[in-house]
């Protein structure tokens, strides 16, 4: 296994030519490491696992088995995009697992944030393990570990590994981007031909919308989070804020308030908008979103999203708040 220390001589990958050289070298090394064996990858559709998938497709083609677990907590359109990009366009060997009911059943009634995270993480491993057991002849496990994961923890962050697999499924690791910083992973992803909205996307937590559907997750509020998030992203993109604001999303709390629609009283959920900027996620400031745009987004969300009658904008920096609500 190669070293976990980035050599001082390693040039920062800042342009397409450097990315292409990195890709060529990785393809050679991956072919050497993997030979004619099979390699398994949990493909979430996030930047890191997508770049690893694209590298491996280039290096070993059908020997790569990608598993995409749809746990129901992804953003609108994401599972569909994974299938379209990797199966339809890149001809990857992709197993799509619809585990939505399974996750939501396990999460039903659970309101404590860390407990929700644990359930999502554990269930993910379980689903992935089941799929791994259906495969014959897997010898390698690919992971989208990146250099900050190595620097920030002794091993890898939970969302970048499927550590926790039982002993008999401990495959040899393949981590082709483990010495790269995030901006380099993006340059490599672009050079590999991945779509911009996959390569330049904002950070998204491992437990996904699960930590933005506050308290015990219900299907109606989860849909309200997903739909309002899609409207927010669409409006930020249209108004030049995509790529400018570090992270922006909506959250839906587990209480309702009184409103009025078409002359009738409603009792529905609020949507909270959060838009923040930060360098390292340890502290964050709030984006000064134009008021007219906030009014327009409010209008769209209250008209288009079911079970919602109110929109709030979170003005709190970190600290005292965290970026996520849970």
Question: Minimum distance between the CB of residue 13 and ligand XMP, rounded to whole angstroms?
Answer: 23
Does 207 help bind ligand XMP (rule: CB under 6 A)?
A: yes
The pattern of x and - marking residues 248 through 287 that bind ligand XMP according to CB under 6 A reads ---------------------------------x------
Nearer to ligand XMP, 93 or 202 (CB): 202
**Residues numbered 50-69 forming contacts with ligand XMP, rule: CB under 6 A:** none
Task: For tokens 């745009």, name the residue.
Answer: 293
CA distance 102 to 252: 22
Q: Helix axis angle, 16-34 relative to 182-191, nearest 10°?
A: 90
The total number of residues written for the chain in this structure: 326
Nearer to ligand XMP, 258 or 281 (CB): 281
First-to-last alpha carbon distance for the chain, in angstroms, is 37
Question: Minimum distance between the CB of residue 137 and ligand XMP, rounded to whole angstroms?
Answer: 31
Indicate which single residue of 35, 203, 243, 290 sits in contact with ligand XMP (rule: CB under 6 A). Answer: 203
Q: Helix axis angle, 47-60 relative to 182-191, nearest 10°?
A: 40
Question: Minimum distance between the CB of residue 282 and ligand XMP, rounded to whole angstroms?
Answer: 8
Question: Minimum distance between the CB of residue 59 and ligand XMP, rounded to whole angstroms?
Answer: 27
Nearer to ligand XMP, 212 or 221 (CB): 212
Nearer to ligand XMP, 244 or 261 (CB): 244
Nearest in space to 53 (alpha carbons), one of 193, 158, 155: 193
Question: Minimum distance between the CB of residue 147 and ligand XMP, rounded to whole angstroms?
Answer: 16
CA distance 308 to 305: 6
The pattern of x and - marking residues 224 through 253 that bind ligand XMP according to CB under 6 A reads -----------------------x------
Indicate which single residue of 77, 206, 259, 317 sits in contact with ligand XMP (rule: CB under 6 A). Answer: 206
The dihedral through the CA atoms of 5, 10, 16, 19 has a sign that is negative
Range in contact with ligand XMP (rule: CB under 6 A) among 171-179, 181-189, 198-206, 254-262: 198-206
> Do the Cβ atoms of 95 and 131 come closer than 8 Å?
yes
Q: Measure CA 219 to chain center.
A: 20
Question: Minimum distance between the CB of residue 281 and ligand XMP, rounded to whole angstroms?
Answer: 4
* Interacting residues of 168 by C-beta distance below 8 A, sequence separation 6+: none
* Interacting residues of 229 by C-beta distance below 8 A, sequence separation 6+: 75, 76, 209, 212, 249, 250
> Do the Cβ atoms of 225 and 212 come closer than 8 Å?
yes
Question: Minimum distance between the CB of residue 11 and ligand XMP, rounded to whole angstroms?
Answer: 28
Nearer to ligand XMP, 168 or 280 (CB): 280
Structure token digits, residue 155: 């091993």
User: Count of alpha carbons within 13 Å of 259, Cβ hemisphere only?
Assistant: 16
CA distance 5 to 102: 39
Indicate which single residue of 20, 37, 87, 117 sits in contact with ligand XMP (rule: CB under 6 A). Answer: 117
**Residues numbered 125-184 forming contacts with ligand XMP, rule: CB under 6 A:** 159
Contacts with ligand XMP, residue ranges (CB under 6 A): 117, 159, 203, 205-207, 247, 281, 318, 322-324
């Amino acid at each position: 296994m190669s070293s976990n220390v980035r050599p001082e001589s390693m040039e920062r990958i800042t342009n397409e030519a450097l990315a292409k050289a990195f890709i060529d070298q990785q393809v050679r090394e991956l072919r050497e490491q993997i030979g004619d064996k099979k390699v398994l990858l949990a493909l979430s559709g996030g930047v890191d696992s997508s770049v690893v998938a694209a590298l491996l497709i280039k290096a070993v083609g059908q020997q790569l088995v990608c598993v995409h677990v749809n746990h129901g907590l992804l953003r609108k359109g994401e599972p569909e995009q994974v299938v379209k990009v990797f199966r339809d366009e890149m001809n990857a060997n992709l197993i799509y697992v619809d585990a939505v009911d399974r996750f939501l059943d396990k999460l039903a009634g659970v309101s404590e944030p860390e407990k929700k995270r644990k359930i999502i993480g554990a269930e993910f491993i379980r689903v992935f393990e089941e799929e791994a057991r259906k495969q014959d002849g897997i010898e390698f496990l690919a992971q989208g570990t990146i250099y900050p994961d190595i620097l920030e923890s002794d091993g890898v962050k939970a969302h970048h590994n499927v550590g926790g697999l039982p002993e008999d499924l401990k495959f040899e690791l393949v981590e082709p981007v483990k010495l790269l910083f995030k901006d380099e992973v993006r340059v490599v992803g672009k050079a590999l031909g991945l779509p911009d909205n996959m390569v330049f996307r904002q950070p998204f937590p491992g437990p996904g919308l699960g930590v933005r559907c506050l308290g015990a997750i219900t299907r109606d509020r989860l849909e309200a989070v997903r739909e309002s998030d899609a409207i927010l992203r669409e409006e930020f993109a249209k108004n030049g804020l995509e790529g400018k604001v570090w992270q922006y999303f909506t959250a839906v709390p587990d209480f309702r308030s009184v409103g009025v629609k078409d002359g009738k009283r409603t009792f529905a959920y609020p949507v909270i908008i959060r838009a923040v900027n930060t360098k390292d996620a340890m502290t964050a400031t709030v984006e000064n979103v134009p008021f007219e745009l906030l009014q327009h987004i409010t209008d769209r969300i209250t008209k288009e999203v079911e079970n919602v009658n109110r929109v709030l904008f979170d003005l709190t920096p970190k600290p005292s708040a965290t970026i996520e609500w849970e």
